[in-house]
């Protein structure tokens, strides 16, 4: 698949995050590798979250909320369908994590077939 598809995928991730979380990442890069779409996002945290992470309990809460919320977002069949339609493959699973201190998140989408065919 072309770099253009990766760019479209990144834009879709940003649009959905903005819609579901309230803001999208400042910077996002997606790469297709075999059956994986790996999206790296920088500048994810809201101003409220940045304030919250000044305490250990706040860091834990923001990390937990961000990782659990992202998993729930991609459980929605309507949202999954948007990605599947774009790449012509079915999502098998989604892995997501965020490094709170660096404000960098990674989401890996695993599809049922290679994306670069």
For the segment 12-41, what is each residue's pLDDT rounded down to a tens digit? 999 999 888 877 899 999 999 999 999 999
Domain membership flag for residue 116: no
HSE of 58 in the Cβ direction (CA atoms, 13 Å)? 11
Give pLDDT tens digits for 78-91: 999 999 999 999 99
pTM flag (> 0.85): yes
Handedness of CA 89, 23, 45, 26 (dihedral sign): positive
Domain count, the chain: 1
Domain membership flag for residue 49: yes
- How high does pLDDT run on average in the chain? 92
- 1: pLDDT strictly greater than 80: no
Residue 21: its pLDDT value, please?
80
Q: How many CB atoms lie within 10 A of CB 27?
A: 13
- 117: pLDDT strictly greater than 70: no
Q: 3-state DSSP helix/strand/coil percent for the chain, to nearest 5?
A: 45, 25, 25
Domain membership flag for residue 24: yes
pLDDT level of residue 66 (50, 70, 90 thresholds): confident
Identify the domain containing residue 15 by its residue range: 1-111
| Cα 28 to Cα 45: distance, rounded to the nearest angstrom | 13
Domain membership flag for residue 98: yes
Domain membership flag for residue 95: yes
Residues 48-61: b if buried by 16+ CB within 10 A, e if exposed: ebeebbeeeebeee
């Amino acid at each position: 698949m072309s770099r253009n598809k990766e760019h479209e995928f990144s834009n879709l991730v940003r649009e959905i995050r903005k819609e579901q979380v309230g803001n999208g990442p400042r910077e996002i890069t997606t790469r297709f590798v075999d059956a994986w779409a790996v999206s790296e996002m920088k500048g994810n945290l809201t101003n409220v979250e940045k304030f919250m992470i000044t305490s250990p309990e706040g860091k834990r809460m923001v990390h937990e909320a961000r990782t659990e919320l992202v998993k729930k977002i991609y459980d929605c069949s309507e949202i999954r369908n948007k990605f599947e339609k774009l790449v012509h493959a079915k999502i098998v699973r989604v892995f997501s994590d965020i490094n709170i201190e660096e404000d960098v998140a990674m989401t890996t989408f695993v599809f049922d077939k290679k994306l670069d065919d």
